[in-house]
A and B are shown apart, each in its own frame.
Chain A
Amino acid sequence: MRDLILSTATRFLLPLFLTFAVFLLLRGHNEPGGGFIAGLVAAAGFALYSLAYSPAKMLRLLRAGPRALIGWGLLLAVASGLPATAAGKPFLTALWTRLHLPGLLDLKVGTPLAFDVGVFLVVIGVVLTVVVALQEEED
């Protein structure tokens, strides 16, 4: 079901979706957002692309297979808990460090961010796995 309007619009929409997803992901700790929501937004963007073009094209754009994304996301989430274990604290305890460049940047970075990225990847992976499987069945 190729549709000129949809496919043209999607080319502009997908970057917007993805930018918004990253925005949601990064602001999530302080403002509404976070890995789960960001993952849904990104997945919606890719799903739209998959509808407008084809699953194969979407996968080419995604580069990684959606099922592999689930694995990588889970791995990242688990790995984000390990530094705490190594430091002798309970697994998944948040560890923070402060990036400070005077005048430029004052940022706290911690393992929860890595964890949230893991959640982000899992959500994208799951949604796209189902979308692709359903779409492929269509053919």
Chain B
Amino acid sequence: MTALPLAVLSPFALAAFAPWAHARLKHRAGWLLAVLPALLTAFFGWLMPSAAAGAPASFGAPWMAGTGVMFSFHADGLALLFAVLITGIGTFILIYAGGYLKGHPHQGRMSAFLLLFMGSMLGVVLSDNLITLFVFWELTSLTSYLLIGFNHEQERSRRAALQALVVTGTGGLAMLAGFLLLGASAGSLELSEIVRRGEQVRSGALYVPVLVLVLLGAFTKSAQFPFHHWLPNAMEAPTPVSAYLHSATMVKAGVFLLARLSPVLGGTAAWEASLTAFGAATMLAGAALAVVKTDLKQLLAYSTVASLGFMVMLLGIGSPYAVKGCLVFLTAHALYKGALFMVAGAVDHEAGSRDASALSGLRRAMPFTAFAAALAGLAMAGLGPWLSFIGKELALEAVLKGGSPWLAGAAVLTSASFAAVAGITGLRIFAGAQPQAPRKVHEAPVSMWLGPLWLAVQGALLGPLAGKAGEFLSPAASSVLGRPEEVKLALWHGANAALGLSGLSLALGAVVYAGWDRVRRAGRLGDTALKWGPDRLYDLSMDALTALARGQTRIVQSGYLRYYLLAVVLSVMALAGHSLYSRGEQPVMQPSVPVTPYGAAVALMIVASAVAAVLLDTRLGAIAALGGAGGGVALIYVMYGAPDLAMTQFLVETLTIILFVLIIFKLPRFARLSRPWSRVRDGLISLAAGGMMAYLSLVALHVDLHPPISSYFAENSVPAGYGRNIVNVILVDFRALDTLGEISVLGLAGLGAYALLKLRLAGGGDR
């Protein structure tokens, strides 16, 4: 199905158009750009029935033949669930960003980045090939880097962007290694094929390495403890970005990957232990850190960390209940968290502050925003009869049945934190009689309340329409569980233990909400302790990396030409000498051509020149002596019929002398500065190097690794190359690509020499 790759690539194409649209339509361009994701949402929704029927749309084109790398897509239930969320929420994010950044000079850039991200994210969820998935995965990291660093004039933004890139990029590399091992273990890189070979992978020797590496990728992306710190820092991004990437979509990529691979890697003790442990730790850390923040976005960010932990933990439990709970929770979370983030942005935009402790009574001034916030807040608390309520019930039930009491306790505490955060972000700032804000508050423009309202209403409606939601989630659950599974959702599960826990968590949440001031004061103590948290560790390791780089540069790059030369000569000797020794070839001592008196005389001249070059006390003399040695070599070329080589040699000697003449006057007076022992050392090394090269030449005379190719050149030079000078025909025709490489290197060397000389002239050198 060709429409599938086109759908993935279309946001990339539209991104190129976005700056132009904004230049023409200003902030209203958001409405126009949102048409594409809206159409894509409909398209993915339209594909859902085929996925439900077990015949998902797919597409495959060869990419790198012979390596198993395909450009392939597979739209099964899980992929489509994510695709609908990505494009559906993306539609409103584009509209919202138009209003949020109204008047910003780089609106077009923001929309373009958002669209690029949307395409990358669609690629991640729809890819069938592991390598294709990886490429899109990295693209999400890159676009996220651009989006977090959107306000690049600010140091904090740049740091947050780089941190997100480093953390998720490192995880991505580990994941790539994991993917390759997984491909080797399963014998295929196609996910649709791999999920059928789960047994083979789980019993294979590579299972543990694959699991560890893939988990590293998923945990860094989905901000699991101890990699969670990049997510709250990423709140430096403009709010549309936080709402889209850091609540609804990108951070769920890790959860997506775990869900995708759970039929392959899941169900083992190692899987369950690691996912539940890390998930629960993340959940508790996020829940605890969320309630002590006052910045609306920080509150939401830490609660997102906790939610991601919750999802990972549910996937770890892996029972049908847990998977269903995870999917319902994931969908509901994307809706209400996206809405709440957009609300926070709207409040920030209109009231001039995001400080939850300083805002209140905004209800009257911002009625639509307040309504959206209330709906979304009720969803987050799990209070209203919305979709999230069902998700919470399912999740708690799954934890009660499949997990330990510890996990149940953790889940209750986390839900309590959700309820408190929901109260603060959705209720507290809007409640109260008198508006309290740094400036006069107005309702946000329609572009900024439409999105949150729509998402919140969706979340609310899906509660009563639980049957529909279940139909929608069934194919996804089937993908995760690896077998057909029907999701039957109902709002009322009866008065069971889960409902009791739910009530308990609400009560706890209400206590936290009521005593929020005291909680925050207690939290300040914790902040001091947290200075030594993972964020600090990140800084320390980045500092260590720079220090290491600086240290090794200081050692390797001494800045003295003699040491570079020594290193080069010694390495060549070590490598060539080792290979000479290990091959044990004997040198040819019989001359292959007759030795003439002229030849002998020239050879003597070369040796004498070389000795003179070493011993002479004047520079000019030494240079002339070197020229003599070079000229002698050229004479030998002439004698044995290599005129091209001889000519080149002569010319190079000539030019060398010209260059020497140019610099000789600038050198200090000739003096013996080196100590005797270093001269002895250099002499010995030179003799050894020269001796070894001589020996190598003699050995090389009779080593034929391959049948000589020279006869081919000789035979084909005239008929195929139309030239009698074989050397030239080889240079410009048979081996023209080599020559092209050589002249490129030559050109670069010339430019390099130029740059070095000019830098020195400008006084930029520090030596």
- Interface residues, chain A, CB within 8 Å of chain B? 24, 28-37, 40-41, 43-44, 47-48, 51, 67, 70-71, 73-74, 77-78, 81, 91-92, 94, 96, 108, 110, 112-113, 115-116, 118-119, 122-123, 125-127, 129-131, 133-138
Contacts and interface: CB of A to CB of B under 8 A. Distances in A.
Interface in B650-675: 651-652, 654-655, 658-659, 661-663, 665-666
Interface string B700-731: 00000000000000000000011111011101
Which of B648, B654, B655, B729 counts the most chain A CB atoms within 10 A?
A: B655
Contact of B723 (A29, A115, A131, A138): A29
A138 B666 contact: yes
Contact of B655 (A30, A43, A67): A43
Contacts, number: 148
Nearest to A30: B724
Interface SS majority for chain B: helix
30 contacts: A28-B725, A29-B729, A29-B732, A32-B725, A33-B647, A33-B728, A34-B644, A37-B648, A40-B648, A43-B655, A44-B658, A47-B658, A51-B661, A74-B744, A81-B740, A110-B722, A112-B723, A112-B733, A112-B736, A113-B732, A119-B732, A119-B743, A125-B747, A126-B746, A129-B750, A130-B753, A130-B757, A134-B757, A135-B662, A138-B666
Contacts of B587: none
B732 A33 contact: no
A74 B723 CA distance: 23
B743 A94 contact: no
Contacts of B357: none
Contact of B731 (A32, A34, A67, A70): A34
Interface string B734-767: 0011011001101101110110011011000000
Of all A-B residue pairs in the complex, the 4 with the closest CB atoms, nearest first, are A126-B750, A29-B723, A40-B651, A32-B643
Nearest to A127: B655
B747 A134 contact: no
Contacts of A37: 644, 647-648, 651
A134 B663 contact: yes
Contacts of B736: 81, 92, 94, 112, 115
B728 A129 contact: no
Contact of A96 (B722, B743, B744, B758): B722
A67 B754 contact: yes
Contact of B733 (A77, A94, A130): A94
A74 to B, nearest CB: 6
Which of B661, B722, B736, B751 counts the most chain A CB atoms within 10 A?
A: B736
B757 A29 contact: no
B603 to A, nearest CB: 23
Contacts of A108: 722
A122 B659 contact: no
Contacts of A135: 662
Contacts of A30: 723-725
Given A29-B724, A31-B725, 19 more contacts: A32-B725, A34-B731, A35-B731, A37-B647, A40-B648, A44-B654, A67-B751, A70-B750, A81-B740, A91-B737, A94-B721, A112-B736, A122-B747, A126-B746, A130-B659, A130-B753, A131-B662, A134-B757, A137-B760
Nearest to A40: B651
A30 B749 CA distance: 30
Nearest to B727: A34
B753 A70 contact: no
Contacts of B729: 29, 112
A73 B648 contact: no
A135 B663 CA distance: 8
Interface residues on B, range: 35 or more
Given A32-B643, A43-B655, A94-B721, A133 B727 contact: no
B761 A137 contact: yes
B753 A129 contact: yes
Interface string B513-557: 000000000000000000000000000000000000000000000
Given A35-B732, A37-B648, A115-B736, A133 B721 contact: no
A44 to B, nearest CB: 6
B420 to A, nearest CB: 65
A41 B648 CA distance: 9
Given A34-B725, A43-B655, A47-B655, A122 B746 contact: yes
Interface in B605-655: 643-644, 647-648, 651-652, 654-655
Contacts of A96: 722
A138 B658 contact: no
A122 to B, nearest CB: 4
Contact of B732 (A48, A116, A122, A137): A116
A134 B654 contact: no
A71 B737 CA distance: 17
A119 B757 CA distance: 24
A133 to B, nearest CB: 4
A78 to B, nearest CB: 7
Given A34-B644, A70-B751, A133-B753, A29 B743 contact: no
Contacts of B733: 94, 112
Contacts of B757: 130, 133-134, 136-137
Contacts of B647: 24, 32-33, 37
A29 B725 contact: yes
A40 B729 CA distance: 19
Given A34-B728, A34-B732, A116-B732, A136 B740 contact: no
